[in-house]
Every structure is written in C-alpha cells, then in structure tokens.
Amino acid sequence: MTRWGKADVNHLPVLAKQVLHWLQPADRGLYIDCTLGLGGHAEQILQASAPSGRVLAFEWDNEAAVLARKRLKSFGDRLICVQDSYVTVGSVHRQLDLPLADGLLVDLGVSSLQFDRGERGFSFQVDAVLDMRMNREIQTTAADLVNQLAEEQLADIFYHYGEERQARRIAARIVREREKTPVQTTGQLVEIIRRAVPARYRPARIHEATKVFQALRIAVNRELDNLARLLAEAPAVLKQGARICTITFHSLEDRIVKQAVANSGELRFLISRPIGPDRNEIMHNRRARSAKLRVAERC
C-alpha cells in the first residue's frame, strides 16, 4: 500500500497558473471547486482570494477529502468541503444559502491518490482488484461490468467511452475468458486485452489497455453523464460574468463541454481554443500532457 506523506499532498495541480489567470479569484469572492482532489487548485484559489474569499469544494472520494481538509486546515471556515459528487452543486448551494458564486472550476483528471494507489484498480501498471470506483459507496465495480454485461454492451462501452477500435475483439475475448474464470484483477484484464488484439493493431504511443481502462472508469463512475448534469446546472449558481474553467483530458469530455456551452443560452466561451500545458509543466508532470482548459462566462 502506498503511504501518502507531505510530498505527495503538496503536488502541483494541472494548469494552475492558467486557471488563476482566467478564474481571477478576489477578496470576498465565492468560488466552487467541483473536484477538490488533494486540494492543489483550492489552495491556490484561497491564497489568491485572501483574506476573506471562500471556496465551496466537492470531493467524492472519502480518502481524498480527509487529506484535502488536513492540507487546507489553515484556511479555516473559508473552505466549505462537501463530501459528495459535484452533481449535487445546485442543491448544496441552496441548502447552505450561499450567494451566487464568482467562478467555478472542474478538473476531470483522475487524482494522483486514486491512480497511484494500485489497490484502487485504476491503473494497468499494478495487478490489483478491478475496482475503479471513485467513491467506495458506488455499488458497481469495473469487475462487475466486465463479468456481467453482455458482449455487445461491453463492446459499446469500449467503443463509445474509450474510442477503442478493437472493442468487439476485446469484448468477445473477455466473454470467452470469463466463462473459464471470472475476471477479477487488472492483471487478468490486461492479459486478455493483449491476447485479443493482434500486434499489428496495437497502438504505438500508448499501452494497449489504456482505452479499455478509461472506458470502464467512465462507465463505473458515470463521468460523462455527471459532467453534462453539472454544466446544465452551473449557470443557476453563478453570478453574471462569473467564469467556468473546465480541465478535460480526452475528446469525449471536451466534446461535452463544447456542446453544453454552445447549447446554453446562459454561457459563452471567452476563448475559442483550449489552453494546454507548456513544455515545462509537461516535463515536470507527464500526466498534464493531455490536459485542455476551456473558459466560459455566465452571460
């Protein structure tokens, strides 16, 4: 088991300078951090909005919420931490009787805590239980999907959520293998994928299991549905002129953001193209390389 110490908790958040530039945190403002994680973005927003700016933060992962609260303890009641999914932002905002917010951030990357803890089952680099739940109270795990869904359903998940071109081959192989032995670990699934995809069809730049693992994670946690719900509800909790910063990591998320803003009569993009990390950030944090920041404004 990985032990999380001071160095781990003090990691730098993705696109931090760009987020602060566009979010423009200020004293007396209220900002919503929909994906608190280990608290990196929230910490910088609280510092930039001193002495009285506040952050309403949502964190679904129990363990991450505990660590983030510890990290941000010095900010006192300027941090309002809600241990729940960000889809509850509207109801929580009303229950707490808060003023309309001056900005909102959602960082859709898997947190370091989840990804680096092998036993959470997010990574194909470590053989562990095939879990992938961001919140342990979710009933269905990735193993449940892999072992219970029909071949066609699995193929659809891999294709639509992972954009995996070999989705049907992989789904068919999973169904054959699970008839012999249930697929319970990440290592088993990686081996099935490797056997299912001929060498000539394997991607050159990424691991052959990357897209399938992404697809299962999205399906288990209903990530795309939750993002669409958040963007539909966000205008109701924001002041006119407040900004929404979204950090996505793959085309499916980015497409939802673009469509949500385009179809909303209450939001408009402030920049036409997404902002990515510079070379220096990528050099220090390889996981930042696919990050895209889009900025919209509440009309």
Q: Residue 34: is its pLDDT beyond 90?
A: yes
Q: What is the mean pLDDT of the chain?
A: 92
Between 20-29, 85-94, 116-125, 279-288, the lowest mean confidence (pLDDT) is in 116-125
> Cβ distance 151 to 172 under 8 Å?
yes
Q: How does pLDDT run across 238-263, given as a tens digit for each residue?
A: 999 999 999 999 999 999 999 999 99
User: Which residues share a beta bridge with 104?
Assistant: 32, 244
Q: HSE of 156 in the Cβ direction (CA atoms, 13 Å)? A: 7
Helices (runs of H) and strands (runs of E) counted in the chain: 14, 7
Q: Which residue has the higher pLDDT, 285 or 149?
A: 149
User: Where in the sequence of the chain do the CATH 3.40.50.150 domains occur?
Assistant: 6-113+223-298
* Helix extents (H) in 72-209: 89-95, 112-116, 142-148, 151-162, 167-180, 186-196
**Segment (H or E) for 267:** strand 267-269
pLDDT of residue 202: 87
Nearest Cα neighbor of 35 from 138, 91, 107 is 107
* CA gap 126, 145 in Å, rounded: 20
Under CATH, which number does the domain 6-113+223-298 receive? 3.40.50.150
pLDDT of residue 113: 60
Label residue 5 by pLDDT band (50, 70, 90): very low
Q: Which CATH number fits domain 137-220: 1.10.150.170, 3.20.20.70, 3.90.226.10, 3.40.30.10?
A: 1.10.150.170
Backbone angles phi, psi at 9, to 5 degrees: -70, -25
**Segment (H or E) for 22:** helix 16-23
Q: Residue 9: is its pLDDT beyond 50?
A: no
User: Which residues share a beta bridge with 295?
Assistant: 245
Label residue 112 by pLDDT band (50, 70, 90): low
| Exposure letters 249-273 (e unless 16+ CB within 10 A, then b) | bbebbbebbbebbeebeebebeeee
Percent of the chain with pLDDT over 90: 82
Q: HSE of 84 in the Cβ direction (CA atoms, 13 Å)? A: 11
Quote the crossing angle between the two packed helices 151-162 and 210-221, to the nearest 10°: 100
Q: In the predicted model, what is the mean pLDDT of residues 265-289?
A: 93
Q: Residue 114: is its pLDDT beyond 70?
A: no
Q: Which residue has the higher pLDDT, 112 or 229?
A: 229
* CA gap 47, 27 in Å, rounded: 10
User: Where in the sequence of the chain do the CATH 1.10.150.170 domains occur?
Assistant: 137-220
The pair of structure tokens assigned to 149 is 């869904």
Label residue 119 by pLDDT band (50, 70, 90): low
Cα distance between the two ends of the chain: 47
